Each structure stands twice: as C-alpha cells, then as structure tokens.
Structure 1
C-alpha cells in the first residue's frame, strides 16, 4: 500500500442468526485482529441486525415497509466495503440460509471485490460451508481468496474472553488471509476506479 492510499474498507460479516450462536465470538476476534493493521478500516455487519424477507419482491416492486430500512442499511454497509470476510458456521454440510438470503438480495455491492472466510464447526471446521460459498460468490462476480481461517470443534476453541486457545495457528492463518485480502482489495479498488466494473 502506498502512503497516499486510504485504508481498505473491510466488512466482517456474522452469518449465523440462530439463538445461542457462536458466530459473534470468532467474528469479534477476527475484527480485532484486522483492526490492528493500518491498511484496513474495519466495520462489522451482523445479519441478525438486518432481517430480510425470504421472498424477494418482484422486479420493480418494493419489499414490505418494515424490510426497507434493513435492506437499505445492509446495502449501504456492503456498498461502502472494498473487501469482505464472511464468518460462517456449517449447517448440514453447507452455509446458513440467512446468508444465502442476504447474498440473493444484492448484486453490484459484491461485484469485483474480494471475499475471505472464517469458518467454524465440528471436525470439519466449517470448511464444507466455505466450499459451497465459493461458486455462489463467483456468480455474484466477487473474487474469493485462497487462504481461510477455520475453527474445528469450535465450541472448545475459545477462552472466556473470546480469544482462540490456539493463538499461533489462528493468528498465522488470519494474517495470511488479511495479506491476500489487502492485495486483492487494493488491486480491485484501483481497477474499479479506473474502469467501473461492468462498464
């Protein structure tokens, strides 16, 4: 990053909306890790705070009035972002329905931006959810980065302060992910500024 380049706007998205969810713990930890790096301006997006109808309105129609504010707030949070990290569990070998719904509501907000993943679950660490998300983001014209952070047997992976017990591997994986997000985020931000995507 050149000295004159502003920090990349990075959205850390908590995908699970279930009662008793673990998601805010790994999301909070990763956001703290990212905020320690000057090249990122980090903001968090919790899908629980932005409930959207499961039935999308027909083209040209508005959703129900109570959903408009949630849609507009989520759209603004995504649109301002140069990069995303999706923090997701694995449900039935895939990712949460609330995340798929949020992805389906928007298009241009994801396009030509990098996406990284922090996953958590049982023995698989949520990695099957990540593999299902990659083609979905490709369809949305986003670029998923190679490195991931995964927490296996996740309910036993954090201490009472929300910090990983295995700090060496988790912090190393997070730093690799952030390195890739910075490279792709900078390159794609410059490309969008020079030639808007889809033009």
Structure 2
C-alpha cells in the first residue's frame, strides 16, 4: 500500500504563481507511486478561525472541516507549498492549519517555498518550520526553494530554463528525505503508540 501524502497550498490571489510549484510536486510525487491529494486552501475556504475542529462536539463540526480532519488523520505525510507575504506566511494556509492540532501529530512534513524574486520564499519557509514543529509534525531538513518562480516553472507546472533544471535536480533528495521519515514514523507508530 502506497503512502498517503497531502500537498497543501494556500494562496488566495487571482493570479496564483505558486500553484505551479504545487502542480510540480503533486506530479513528481505521483510518479513515485505515492497516493497524493492536493488540498487547496482557497477551494476548501474555511472561515477565519473561531473554533478548532477539536472544540466541536463529535458529529457537529461543519462538513468541510470534518472531511478535511479525516483526510489529515489518514495521511502518512504532508507537503506545504508556501509563498511569502511581506516576510511572513500566507494567511489562507495559516488559517487552514490552525483549525487542527492533534490531527497533525506524529507525521513528517516537508516545506517547498517560492517567491517572485530571488529569495525564493526562504523567510516564509523559516517561519513555517517553527509553526509545523509546534503543531506536532516532524519537519524534514530537505526543502525546495523556488524563485523567481515565473522563470523556473511554466503555467503547466513543468520546469523551464536553468532554474527549472536546478529544481529537477533538487527534487529527488527532497522526495527521498520525506519518504525516509514517512517510513520511520509509520514503523514507530506501529511499534509503540504515541505518548499523547
């Protein structure tokens, strides 16, 4: 049975460039025979956080929140495709993640960042690392950093030019690192129940 990986993306902008990186990652992970599902925060469109999933009585959470909670709980690993807004994180994706807590626990997460400029969303990736760790995920050390995204990936999510070739070279290590930690976490969860 292949590993279940959720790929999260969070831009709400009309002209979203980061979706190219999300498409690239989904495509390449599927080529590795993984069970990959793309979760677009804009499509899910959760309201601004008022009540976390765990704060609803069983069976009373809104349908979209319940469905996403079940997908998160069933996943083996996560990839977060993150853009950078004013040196910070995208509010749409942060809002989505904050609706959950225990549902994220004891699984690995990978971060792929992007920006229109040469910094490649690195400041956002740094912020997300601490956030995801606090939410109980094991954040892998390998990251993807893409920028300028418009010169790296075409509208179809396929690499272009020298920057695209660099992304293709970087992806295998990123994927293998995530795969290793996914397997390690699965083995450990089967061997011993998480302590909380």
When normalised by structure 1's length, the TM-score is 0.88
Tell me, yes or no, if the aligned pair for 2:12 and 2:42 is still in contact at 8 Å: yes
**SS at the partner of 2:129?**
helix
Which deviates more from structure 2 when the two are superposed, residues 161-170 or residues 179-188?
A: 161-170
Q: Which residue of 2 is the match for residue 133 of structure 1?
A: 128
After TM superposition, list the pairs within 5 Å mapping 1:168-179 onto structure 2. Answer: 168-179=165-176
Structure holding more helix per residue: 2
Which deviates more from structure 2 when the two are superposed, residues 132-141 or residues 156-165?
A: 156-165
Hey, which bits of structure 1, 4+ residues long, moved more than 6 A?
Answer: none
The alpha-carbon distance between structure 1 residues 18 and 73, as it changes in their structure 2 partners (threshold 3 A), is: farther
Q: 1:9 aligns with which of 4, 12, 37?
A: 4
Q: Could you tell me how far apart the structure 1 residues matched to 2:77 and 2:49 are?
A: 27
Q: Could you tell me how far apart the structure 2 residues matched to 1:46 and 1:160 are?
A: 17
The alpha-carbon distance between structure 1 residues 153 and 61, as it changes in their structure 2 partners (threshold 3 A), is: same
Listed one character per residue, the Cα deviations across residues 81-131 of structure 1 (whole Å, up to 9, x for unaligned) are 111111111111111111111121111221111111111102210111010
Q: 1:30 aligns with which of 18, 25, 28?
A: 25
Q: Which residue of 1 is the match for residue 106 of structure 2?
A: 112
Tell me, yes or no, if the aligned pair for 1:114 and 1:181 is still in contact at 8 Å: yes
**SS at the partner of 2:102?**
coil
How many residue pairs are counted as aligned between the two chains? 190
Tell me, yes or no, if the aligned pair for 1:107 and 1:140 is still in contact at 8 Å: yes
Q: Could you tell me how far apart the structure 2 residues matched to 1:44 and 1:60 are?
A: 26
**SS at the partner of 2:12?**
coil
Listed one character per residue, the Cα deviations across residues 31-79 of structure 1 (whole Å, up to 9, x for unaligned) are 11111113x22111111121122132287447xx8x8122112212211
Residue 146 (structure 2) pairs with residue 151 (structure 1) = yes
Residue ranges of structure 2 left out of the alignment (5+ in a row): none
Tell me, yes or no, if the aligned pair for 1:147 and 1:173 is still in contact at 8 Å: no
Q: 2:89 aligns with which of 66, 89, 95?
A: 95
Q: 1:47 aligns with which of 41, 46, 50?
A: 41
Q: Could you tell me how far apart the structure 2 residues matched to 1:16 and 1:196 are?
A: 36
When normalised by structure 2's length, the TM-score is 0.89
Tell me, yes or no, if the aligned pair for 1:94 and 1:132 is still in contact at 8 Å: yes
Let me know the Cα RMSD of the aligned residues: 1.9
Q: Which residue of 1 is the match for residue 192 of structure 2?
A: 195
Q: Could you tell me how far apart the structure 2 residues matched to 1:193 and 1:82 are?
A: 12
